[in-house]
Amino acid sequence: MNEEKETCQVKQETTAGNREKLSIHENESIRSNIEQLTIELSEQKEFNHFILDEKQKAISTLSSLITKGDCDEDLKTHFEQALHIGLSVIEIMEIIKHCTKVAGFPHSINALFIFQNLLDENK
């Protein structure tokens, strides 16, 4: 019985040590990514190395623009692009609905009107 307890304790210590090493490695990776992003921002380079696919980027952009507010033309452009890359009308409506919790009703209803007008124009 004592051997089992000692074995479990050694395994836990080993696992904790591995987690510590992993987190140090992850921190270095994050630091490196932040440094690279800072350089690219200062040089105004395109960000082509991120893992996000086109739909995920569109969702992020739409969410940001809806939350920001007062960017009607940008929203219209990005709604068009989102539809073009394959986001469905229902998915875009869900993004607008979700942003209501963060951005508030006025920004979300404005985005909804812009999107509805876009859909009406394309009928």
Number of domains in the chain: 2
Please indicate, yes or no, whether residues 45 and 9 belong to a single structural domain of this protein.
yes
- List phi, psi (to 5°) of 94: -65, -35
Residue-wise pLDDT for 23-37, tens only, equals 555 667 777 777 776
pTM of this prediction?
0.64
Residue-wise pLDDT for 42-66, tens only, equals 666 665 666 889 999 999 999 999 9
Which residues fall within 8 angstroms of residue 77, CB to CB, at 6 or more apart?
none
Number of Cβ within a 10 Å radius of residue 2: 6
Please indicate, yes or no, whether residues 12 and 68 belong to a single structural domain of this protein.
no
What are the structure tokens assigned to 73, written together?
A: 């033309």
Residue 81: CATH number of its domain: 1.20.1290.10
Which residues fall within 8 angstroms of residue 57, CB to CB, at 6 or more apart?
50
Burial of 81 (0-12, 13-18, 19+ CB in 10 A): middle
Please indicate, yes or no, whether residues 62 and 96 belong to a single structural domain of this protein.
yes
The closest alpha carbon to 66, from 47, 79, 48, belongs to: 79
